[in-house]
């Protein structure tokens, strides 16, 4: 590992820590007023970005299996840019809108026993998917950044080693992001 790699690795860990702190802080700060009207379109955009990223990750795998390195790189750059855009939109949305409660059928911010009963076991499935999605989203950010560093510096073997872990986690996070969106969207209060 050369000096540039060490600098980039430090930068990767700093970026990861900053993103984590910002996302946690979103839970603690009250939403600013007034809320921009476009804010309510963001969950749909975010869900769409996750769907596109899921497809692009699969296409990227196909390209590399076919030894089309250039197409693999381009696809991954597009996926990376979309994922960064997702993160910006996610932060912007959650700055203004706090968590939607799964099962809140009447959209009053309280999930009653009757509402819980009406959604049944789906509630537990949702929270399991959401929990694994969030935990793996935290883990995957530095993995993605390190794999990009190694891929673009043509450290092919080191890239392959980390991508064995990063790719399935990134794909899982993207796919479960779509599932979470589809499951929670009926309960949005807008």
Cα 17–chain centre separation: 15
Cα 128–chain centre separation: 16
CB 187 within 8 A of CB 74: no
Is the pLDDT score of 13 beyond 70? yes
As a whole number, mean pLDDT of residues 41-63 equals 97
Per 3-state DSSP, what percentage of the chain is helix, strand, and coil (rounded to 5)? 80, 0, 20
Cα–Cα distance for residue pair 108/55, rounded to 1 Å: 35
Cis preceding linkage at 34, omega within 30: yes
Is the pLDDT score of 63 beyond 80? yes
**pLDDT confidence of residue 178:** 97
| Residue keyed to tokens 């900053």 | 18
**What pLDDT digit, counting tens, does each position of 132-170 carry?**
999 999 999 999 999 988 888 888 899 999 999 999 999
Q: For residue 121, with 0-12 CB atoms within 10 Å meaning exposed, 13-18 middle and 19 or more buried, which class applies?
A: exposed
Is the pLDDT score of 1 beyond 80? no
> For helices 42-65 and 69-96, what crossing angle results, to 10°?
160
* Percent of the chain topping pLDDT 70: 98
Full DSSP string of 68-107:
-HHHHHHHHHHHHHHHHHHHHHHHHHHHHS-PPPTT-TT-
**pLDDT confidence of residue 4:** 76
**What pLDDT digit, counting tens, does each position of 112-123 carry?**
999 999 999 999
**Confidence band for 2, pLDDT divided at 50, 70 and 90:** low
CB 43 within 8 A of CB 188: yes
pTM for the predicted model, two decimal places? 0.88
Provide the b/e sequence for 153-174 (b: ≥16 CB within 10 Å).
eeeeebbeebbeebbebbbbbb
């Amino acid at each position: 590992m050369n000096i540039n790699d060490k600098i980039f690795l430090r930068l990767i860990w700093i970026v990861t820590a900053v993103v984590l702190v910002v996302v946690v802080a979103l839970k603690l700060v009250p939403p600013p007023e007034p809320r921009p009207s476009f804010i309510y379109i963001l969950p749909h955009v975010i869900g769409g970005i996750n769907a596109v990223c899921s497809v692009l990750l699969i296409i990227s795998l196909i390209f590399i299996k076919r030894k089309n390195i250039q197409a693999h790189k381009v696809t991954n750059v597009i996926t990376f840019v979309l994922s960064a855009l997702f993160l910006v939109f996610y932060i912007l949305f959650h700055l203004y809108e706090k968590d939607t409660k799964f099962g809140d059928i009447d959209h009053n911010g309280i999930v009653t026993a009757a509402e819980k009963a009406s959604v049944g076991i789906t509630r537990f499935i949702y929270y399991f998917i959401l929990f694994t999605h969030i935990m793996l989203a935290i883990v995957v950010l530095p993995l993605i950044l390190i794999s990009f560093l190694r891929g673009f510096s043509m450290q092919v073997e080191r890239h392959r080693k980390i991508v064995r872990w990063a790719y399935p986690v990134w794909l899982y996070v993207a796919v479960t992001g779509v599932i979470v969106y589809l499951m929670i969207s009926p309960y949005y209060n807008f």
